């Protein structure tokens, strides 16, 4: 029985990994979209973790122990398994290319070198309305296991273990300069929505729809399924 049958399999809503150029300067918004990796099969499972950091300073004046001091939350981490299979096309090199794409997420991009800020790509994992698992991250490791090969020796089936670590943004709802509330929020797509109409409604300028597309890893604005959750960047980010 194929391994894919243990998970969600091929469904209407596919998981994707949007691969972006790292930003220039001190921005925490991913740069231009490099490529969107669409999963052949949705993950059978993924693991999310987060921790909070506390500090305790011992003191002799308190017999039962000192009061802990909250130092802040640590970034989220996610481990997911990506199953790739092109066994129906034994001469295809699709699996080889997709593994290479994942591996490239640990390599410095040419544009970041030119900008004198060397960095691997930033990525955004997305799976329909599963918003808890959606955050900007870097890929810390990719482990690929090739399990089936075509007659020419090209791998046609592979399982990749990918580890993502969150790149924290500024505190939610805070303007980086004034501390005032921003317009960054989540919008659920309804029938009739388009990126252009959302840009006009939110920012008064339909031409900035690309800012919404880049923030959500969308490479085809015509494909905007009803029910999808979109992050709408703050007006300050769009102007920037």
**CATH number of 218's domain:** 3.10.350.10
Residues 151 and 184 reside in one and the same domain: no
Which pair of tokens denotes residue 22?
Answer: 């790292």
Residues 97 and 4 reside in one and the same domain: yes
CA–CA dist 216, 79 (Å, integer) = 20
Give the pLDDT of residue 97. 93
- Whether the predicted pLDDT of 5 surpasses 80: no
User: Is residue 61 situated within a structural domain?
Assistant: no
Q: Which of 100, 103, 99 is nearest to 82 (CA)?
A: 99
Selected residue with higher pLDDT from 107 and 57: 107
Percentage of the chain beyond pLDDT 90 is 30
53-67, 81-95, 159-173 — most confident range? 81-95
CA distances in angstroms from 217 to 15, 135, 144, 221, 227, listed in the order given: 12, 11, 24, 10, 16
**Cβ proximity of 37 and 14 under 8 Å:** no
pLDDT band at 33 (very low <50, low <70, confident <90, very high): confident
Give the pLDDT of residue 192. 82
Percentage of the chain beyond pLDDT 70 is 85
Mean pLDDT (whole number) for 185-193: 80
Collapsing DSSP states into helix, strand and coil, what is residue 51? coil
User: Is residue 37 situated within a structural domain?
Assistant: yes
Instruction: State pLDDT tens for residues 130-179.
Output: 888 888 999 999 999 999 998 888 999 999 999 999 988 754 444 443 33
Mean pLDDT (whole number) for 22-45: 86
The Cβ of residue 14 has, within 10 Å, a number of other Cβ atoms equal to 15
Structural domain range at position 133: 1-56+66-169
Give the pLDDT of residue 139. 95
Q: Which of 113, 143, 169 is at the close of a domain?
A: 169
CA distances in angstroms from 127 to 42, 106, 228, listed in the order given: 8, 22, 9
Give the pLDDT of residue 164. 95
Residues 214 and 240 reside in one and the same domain: yes
Give the pLDDT of residue 95. 93
Give the pLDDT of residue 163. 95
CA–CA dist 182, 115 (Å, integer) = 29
Give the pLDDT of residue 12. 63
CA–CA dist 150, 127 (Å, integer) = 30
Q: What is the largest CA-CA distance in the chain?
A: 75
């Amino acid at each position: 029985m194929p391994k894919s049958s243990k998970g969600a399999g091929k469904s209407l809503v596919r998981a994707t990994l949007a691969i972006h150029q790292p930003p220039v300067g001190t921005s925490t918004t991913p740069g231009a979209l490099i490529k969107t990796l669409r999963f052949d099969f949705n993950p059978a499972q993924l693991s999310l973790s987060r921790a909070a950091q506390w500090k305790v300073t011992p003191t002799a004046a308190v017999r039962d122990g000192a009061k802990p001091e909250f130092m802040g939350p640590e970034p989220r981490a996610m481990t997911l398994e990506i199953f790739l299979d092109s066994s129906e096309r034994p001469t295809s090199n699709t699996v080889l290319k997709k593994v290479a794409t994942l591996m490239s997420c640990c390599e410095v991009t040419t544009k970041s070198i030119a900008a004198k800020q060397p960095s691997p790509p930033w990525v955004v994992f997305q799976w329909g309305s599963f918003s808890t698992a959606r955050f900007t991250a870097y890929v810390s490791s990719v482990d690929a296991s090739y399990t089936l090969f075509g007659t020419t020796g090209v791998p046609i089936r592979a399982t990749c273990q990918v580890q993502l670590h969150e790149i924290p943004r500024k505190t939610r709802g805070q303007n980086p300069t004034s501390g005032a509330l921003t317009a960054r929020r989540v919008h659920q797509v309804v029938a009739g929505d388009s990126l252009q109409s959302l840009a006009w409604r939110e920012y008064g300028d339909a031409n900035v729809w690309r800012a919404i597309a880049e923030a959500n890893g969308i490479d085809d604005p015509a494909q905007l399924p009803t029910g999808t959750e979109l992050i709408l960047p703050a007006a300050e980010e769009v102007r920037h």
